[in-house]
Amino acid sequence: MKPLSRFKCHGMPFQIFEPLVSRSLLGIHFQRPSFCSAAAIEWRTGPNIPSANPLINEFSSYCYQWDLANAMKALDSMQKYHIWVDSVTYAELIKCCIARGAVKQGKQVHRHVFSNGYEPKTFLINTLVNMYVKFNMLDEAQALFDQMPERNVVSWTTMIAAYSNSEFSQKALEMLIQMLREGVRPNMYTYSSVLRACKGLFNLAQLHCSIIKVGFESDVFVRSALIDIYSKWGELQAALCVFNEMVTGDLVVWNSIIGGFAQNSDGVEALNLFKIMKRVGFWADQSTLTSVLRACTSLALLELGQQVHVHIIKFDQDLVLSNALLDMYCKCGSLEDANCTFNRMVEKDVISWSTMIIGFAQNGYSKKALESFEAMRFSGTKPNYITILGVMFACSHAGLVEDGQYYFRSMKKLFGIDPGREHYGCMVDLLGRAGKLEEAIKLIHAMEYEPDAVMWRTLLGACRVHRNMDLAECAAKQILKLDPDDAGTYILLSNIYANSQRWEDVAHVRRSMRDGGIKKEPGCSWIEINKQIHAFILGDKSHPQMDEISRQLNKIIWRLKEVGYVPDTNFVLQDLEGEQSESSLLYHSEKLAIVFGIMSLPKRKTVRIRKNLRICGDCHVFAKLLAKMENRRIVIRDPIRYHHFHDGACSCGDYW
C-alpha cells in the first residue's frame, strides 16, 4: 500500500491508502480503511487530473459528464467512507443539479459537504447558495449565507442578485449597504444586479454616481442595466445619454435602448435605433426582434411586422418572440395571420392564450374569444388576471351580460383570482353597454376601490351610446376632477351644454380650458403605404397629394350622398374632435386617410388606419357605407378598439 500525494488534511493525523477495490457490474465495493474515519480530506481532481483513488475517479468523471444518477450513487459511497473531493468537482455536480432542477440531489450534496467536520471552502458554499437561489429557495440561500464564516464579493452578489429579482428587492439595497459597511467592495456583477432594485430616481442617481466613481460605467453589463432601469422609470433621455457615451457596445446594450423606447410606446425612435444598429453591423437576435415587433404593434405597421416575421423564421421557435408576433398581428387587425401563428406555436403559455383571447375580443370576435378561453381551460393552462379581463371584455362587447356576470362572480372560486379595479371597469362597461346605467352606477359605488378616471370614462362611453345627458354630465365632471387635463372630456361636456342651450356653462368650460392651458389634441390618422407612414392631421394640408385626395373625397361623398349618406353634424356626445360644422367634419383625418388608402393600395387590399382619437359617429357611418360601395375591407384602430368595416357593417356593432 502506497500513500497518496495529493490531499489536504484538516488537523488530524492521517494515513491514506487506496481502498481495496473489487468491481462488480454496477456496484463498487470498497473496503473502508478504518484509520481515515473522520479525517476531512480534499482531493484535487478534475477532468485531466486523475486521482489514484478509483472511487474519486468514478465520481469525478460522472460529475463532469453530468451523469447525475451515477454521481449521486458514488457520492453515497464517498459519504460512507468519509471521502471528499475538491470544490471544483462539487461545483460541477451542483451546476448539473441546477440545470436539471434536482432539488433533492442538491440538498444531498449540501449535507455531504458539511458532514463530519468537513469545512467546505467559500467558493463551494457560494455555489450552494447560488443553487438555492436558482431553485427559488431564498430562505435556504439566506440561511446558508448567514452561517458562512467568510463572505466574499461573490457571496454578497449572489444574494443581492437574488433579492433584486424577487419581490423583496428592498432587501437587495439593504444588503448592498451592509456589504459596504463590512468592507467588501462591490464589483460590476454587484452593480449590474442591484440596479434593478432601485426604488426611485433619487436612488438610481446615487447608484449611478457610485458606479461612475469606481469606474464601472463602461462595463457593458452595467451600462445595459443602467439603460434598462432608466427606461423602466420612463427616463428615456437619461437612458439615451448612457447609451450615447458608449464607444464599443454589444448587442444587449442595443437591445436595452431599443426595448426601452419600444416599451415606452415610442415606436418611431425604437425603429430608428434599430435601423442604426443594423447599419453599424449588428445582427438582430430574438430579443431585438421582440422589441421591433412591439414597436410595429404600437404603430400598427402590419407590413413591417410581416417583414420581421420573415426574419424570425430563421430562429428556433421562441415563446416570447412568438407571443410578440401574435400580438402584432392581433393589434394590426390581421386575425387570420394571428390565428395561423397561434396554431403553429409548439409551446403556448398563459400570455399566448391571453393575447389571442384579447385579440379576438378587441377586434369584435367575441364568440371566438370565448371559444379560445374554453380551449385554454381544456389545455390546462391556468388563466391569470389579464386573461379574465379579456374574457369579460369579450362578454361586454357581445352583450353577453349574464356570461360576463358569471365570470366576474366566480373568478375567485374558479381561478383563484380576486377581481381587481379593471374587472370592475369591465363590469361597468358590460352593464352600461346593455343600457343598465343605474346598475353600473350602483356597482361603482359598491366596489371596494375608489373609482378612477378610466372607470368614469367607461361610464361616459355608455352614456354616449344610450344618450343619457344627465349621467354623462356627472361622469364628465368626475373625470375632470381626477384628470383635469383631459381635453376630450372638456369638449364633450361643452357639447352637452351647448346641446341644452346652457351657454353660460359652455362659456365656463371653455374658460377652464383656456385658464388651464388645455389644448385639444388634433385628430390624426396614419396609414402605411409601401413601408412609408403617411400622417393626416385635421386642418393640415401639407400632404403632397392633398389636392387629389380632396378631389377624390368630394367625389366619394357625392356618390355616397346618392345612396343615402347624410353628414351628421349632431354627434353631440360622439364628436371628440369638437368640430361640428359640416365642412370640418368632412375633413376628419380618418376620412382623408381612408381615401388615400383606396387611391394608393391595390384593389382588394384592406385599408388599415390607426387613429389617435376615438372615431366619430359620422366617420363611422361614412366608413360603413364606403366599405360596401367600394367592396373593400377597412380597418380602423382607435386608442381603445378596432373597427372592421365590411359590407356596410362594422365589427363593433356600432358600440364603441
Partner DNA sequence: ATAGGGTTAG
Pairing state between β 634-637 and 607-611: parallel
CB 612 within 8 A of CB 521: yes
- Counting contacts by CB under 7 A, is residue 482 touching DNA? no
Q: Which region, judged by CB under 7 A, interacts with DNA, from 248-256, 464-472, 573-581, 592-600?
A: 248-256
- Of residues 171 and 294, the one with the C-beta less far from DNA: 294
Q: Which residues contact 363 (CB under 8 A, 6 or more apart)?
A: 330, 333, 335, 642, 644, 651
In this chain, which stretch among 8-16, 99-107, 156-164, 273-281 interacts with DNA, using CB under 7 A?
156-164
In the beta sheet, which residues pair with residue 43?
85
d(CA 200, CA 375): 42
Handedness of CA 556, 558, 563, 568 (dihedral sign): positive
Residue 571 contacts residue 618 (beta carbons within 8 Å): yes
Q: Out of 105, 263, 494, 574, point to the residue binding DNA (CB under 7 A).
A: 263
Out of 60, 105, 323, 366, point to the residue binding DNA (CB under 7 A).
323
| Least gap, CB of 564 to DNA (angstroms) | 34
Contact between 255 and DNA by CB under 7 A: the answer reads yes
User: Is residue 537 within the footprint of DNA (CB under 7 A)?
Assistant: no
> With CB under 7 A, what is the number of residues at the site for DNA?
73
Please say which residue, 102 or 358, places its beta carbon nearer to DNA.
Answer: 358
Contacts of 494 (CB under 8 A, 6+ apart): 505, 506, 509, 510, 578
Q: How far is the CB of 409 from DNA (least distance, A)?
A: 20
Q: What is the DSSP string of 295-355?
A: HHHHHT-HHHHHHHHHHHTTSPP-HHHHHHHHHHHHHTT-HHHHHHHHHH-SS--HHHHHH
Q: Which stretch binds DNA (CB under 7 A): 139-147, 220-228, 504-512, 513-521?
A: 220-228
Binding to DNA by CB under 7 A, coded x per residue (else -) over 59-78, reads --------------------
Q: What share of the chain is helix, strand, coil (3-state, %, to 5)?
A: 60, 5, 35
Find the binding residues for DNA in span 168-187 (CB under 7 A). Answer: 187
Q: Does 55 bind DNA (CB under 7 A)?
A: no
End-to-end C-alpha distance for the chain, whole angstroms: 90
| Residue 569 sits in the site that holds DNA (CB under 7 A) | no
Q: Does 238 bind DNA (CB under 7 A)?
A: no
Residue 432's nearest CA partner among 440, 420, 424 is 440
Residue number, 228 or 618, with CB nearest to DNA: 228
Distance CA 594, CA 590 (A): 6
Of 4, 68, 184, 386, the residue at the interface with DNA (CB under 7 A) is 386
Binding letters toward DNA, positions 405-444, x by CB under 7 A: -----------------x----------------------
Site string for DNA, 80-99 (x = CB under 7 A): -----------x--------
* 267 is an interface residue for DNA by CB under 7 A: no
483 binds DNA (CB under 7 A): no
Q: Which of the ranges 48-56, 62-70, 322-330, 474-482 carries the binding residues for DNA, by CB under 7 A?
A: 322-330
What would the x/- binding string for DNA be over residues 328 to 367, using CB under 7 A? Answer: ---x-----------------xxxx-xx--x---------
If one asks whether residue 269 binds DNA (CB under 7 A), the answer comes out as: no
Q: CA 655 to CA 653: how far, in whole Å?
A: 5
Residues in the chain: 656
Closest contact distance (angstroms) between CB of 291 and DNA is 5
Residue of 53, 105, 142, 190 that binds DNA (CB under 7 A): 190
How would you class 122 by CB atoms within 10 Å of its CB: exposed for 0-12, middle for 13-18, buried for 19 or more? middle
Cα 231 to Cα 235, 239, 264, distances in angstroms: 5, 6, 8
Distance CA 152, CA 375 (A): 51
- Contacting DNA (CB under 7 A), which of 51, 53, 89, 291? 291
* 385 part of the interface to DNA, by CB under 7 A: yes
Using CB under 7 A, pick the residue from 123, 135, 233, 415 that binds DNA: 123
Q: For residue 406, give the DSSP letter.
A: H
Q: Could you tell me which stretch among 16-24, 31-39, 192-200, 437-445 binds DNA (CB under 7 A)?
A: 192-200
Q: Which residues in 507-526 contact DNA (CB under 7 A)? A: none
Alpha-carbon Rg for the chain, nearest whole angstrom, is: 33
Distance CA 446, CA 494 (A): 30
Q: Do residues 417 and 383 touch, judged by C-beta distance below 8 A?
A: yes
Contacting DNA (CB under 7 A), which of 360, 393, 408, 424? 393
